[in-house]
Structure 1
């Protein structure tokens, strides 16, 4: 594991601090970046998202879908949590906490927008950082690969309808043109680009050439993630500094959702008799979010200064340390898991 992955929490924290400080020091520059849009899509964010996820999507072999049958129980548990539980449970948690218990402490005009951001965060399972989390729990690589490939295909067709349904249930107007454009830009195009690139590299140099390319691009992908954090926290830093209570309250449903879904996926795998090396990454995939897509879509749908964008940025803020804690829980409970599952 490289220095970036080993100290990821530290780099994330430093980029958050740098973004907030730069946003305060040169606000005009960040306003200029925020206004660089085309068809409601922010171009710098789009570029950074592509740089972030295309190299990671290069790892995904859609041919791995043939291995789904070998791990069907783990796949079934993860898909159920990702698509039948997570988006709907987040909508419920948002309604309970943001729309109910915490309503009096939040800006009334942003309640619906916060709800939308939480829904966007939960509606797309993680496809990039999952490889890092799976590696940290010694996960079965073929399972991780086939699960991510399947999630990508499901996301192409399910993300927009699920988001549209839940936003509609929350009485939030859905700008369908922008939502569908976001799906094309941040799911369809990167997946297609990565698969074409992958095939070209394999055709020219085989698996060894692909491995070399992946090693070369890994720092670029993580550097794009860190630059995205600087940009987002530079744009949102003023709100974060002025509204620490809002940040803390938005974090509550996100934290509950992460731990509850990780626990549910882990428990389902144990009940189904799945090996720990599959249950570990299944729990992590069930818990983590494709926050790059959530942030980009929130910005496209509602704008940089919206409550939706802020809610997704809170997801970014806590994603890495929370997922690292889930990794530790999964690793430390391995004896308990295998005592009965075996």
Structure 2
């Protein structure tokens, strides 16, 4: 796939592709409703089998990029890691909950009902509790970040997700009086993190042993690019085919959802960037440190939302809007971060 300034053509124009998928999905839902009805029959413990397969196609290649052996370097420049962990796992989920509650239940009170507000809040919480993984490598590259350090940040966060995601999500949703089936939440984590994580670790080990790490990174992983793109686009089309009538009835809701998500992204970036500045981190560490918290592991959020609340839910729509706004907002933050590089690399 052609690269532009370090980011693939597809990733750079992700917002456009999401909009195209929205149009196609709504068209299918309105004029060919039998298709989403047929797909809705394929479920196992409330988990959509077609979307699970497509989400695996997205998540597995992302996990392949992560070398968990890099954890041995966790003691190098620990201040950056402490800031990343503190923001990602304490500030970010709580701020997402508070900002989303403010908008969905108070500011938007005259526009959406309480039930829909709860669904949107649930989707926002699922996004807020899942810091970014693979795309951070892109943001790090665009800000000339320390690639080795970024790898440690991503690897450590992926391991924390295994133990922290369920407690954080369940606690915040309980505070919001949103009931979730614990069994389905646990199954979601197993399906969308544990399984692809284990498979990726086994695959990395086998490929490196037989072909070498160079082959893994330059040939094997890039071969999945077109399938990853296909998996994301088809997943979005399926979601929008289920959501089509809701969007046609209330198209402004997409904008209403996007506003608090964008504010949350800007807030998390600002607080992390400022903390990194105060901690006197070099820019090559401060920039990716800020990006990993500002962006989201939206693939996981979409997957868990579909499992917990279904393809028709407002929660799933919220996670998809997260995909819609992610790239343009993050590209703007990359540009801003690069303009501030001289502030970090001055002599203290």
Check whether the contact 2:11–2:327 (CA below 8 A) recurs between aligned residues.
no
Is the deviation greater in 218-227 or in 315-324? 218-227
Per-residue Cα deviation, 1:49-72 (whole angstroms, up to 9, x for no partner): 111011111111111111222131
User: What residue number does 1:282 align with?
Assistant: 289
User: What residue number does 1:57 align with?
Assistant: 63
User: What residue number does 1:30 align with?
Assistant: 36
The two structures have a TM-score, normalised by structure 2, of: 0.93
Q: 1:247 to 1:86 in 2, by over 3 A?
A: same
Which one of 319, 323, 335 corresponds to residue 316 of structure 1? 323
How big is the shift at 1:14?
2.9
- Counterparts of 1:222 and 1:281 in 2: how far apart (Å)? 24
User: What residue number does 1:233 align with?
Assistant: 240
How big is the shift at 1:264?
1.0
- Counterparts of 1:98 and 1:242 in 2: how far apart (Å)? 18
Per-residue Cα deviation, 1:92-127 (whole angstroms, up to 9, x for no partner): 112211122212210332222221111111111111
Greater helix share, 1 or 2? 1
Whether 2:123 is the aligned partner of 1:114: answer no
Q: 1:256 to 1:59 in 2, by over 3 A?
A: same
Q: 1:138 to 1:233 in 2, by over 3 A?
A: farther
Per-residue Cα deviation, 1:198-244 (whole angstroms, up to 9, x for no partner): 10101111112212101212222233222222222222232222212
Q: 1:92 to 1:8 in 2, by over 3 A?
A: closer
Q: 1:11 to 1:248 in 2, by over 3 A?
A: closer
How big is the shift at 1:7?
3.9
Check whether the contact 1:4–1:219 (CA below 8 A) recurs between aligned residues.
no
User: What residue number does 1:252 align with?
Assistant: 259
Whether 2:205 is the aligned partner of 1:221: answer no
- Counterparts of 2:152 and 2:32 in 1: how far apart (Å)? 44
Per-residue Cα deviation, 1:293-340 (whole angstroms, up to 9, x for no partner): 111111111111112112212212212222222222212222334347
How big is the shift at 1:159?
0.5
User: What residue number does 1:181 align with?
Assistant: 187
Which one of 155, 160, 167 corresponds to residue 161 of structure 1? 167
Whether 2:20 is the aligned partner of 1:14: answer yes
User: What residue number does 2:92 align with?
Assistant: 86
How big is the shift at 1:77?
1.1
Gap regions ≥5 residues in structure 2: none
Q: 1:310 to 1:206 in 2, by over 3 A?
A: same
How big is the shift at 1:6?
4.5
Which one of 298, 304, 313 corresponds to residue 297 of structure 1? 304
Is the deviation greater in 164-173 or in 17-26? 17-26
- Counterparts of 1:6 and 1:316 in 2: how far apart (Å)? 12
How big is the shift at 1:257?
0.6
How big is the shift at 1:35?
3.2
Whether 2:10 is the aligned partner of 1:4: answer yes
Q: 1:17 to 1:338 in 2, by over 3 A?
A: farther
Check whether the contact 1:134–1:144 (CA below 8 A) recurs between aligned residues.
yes
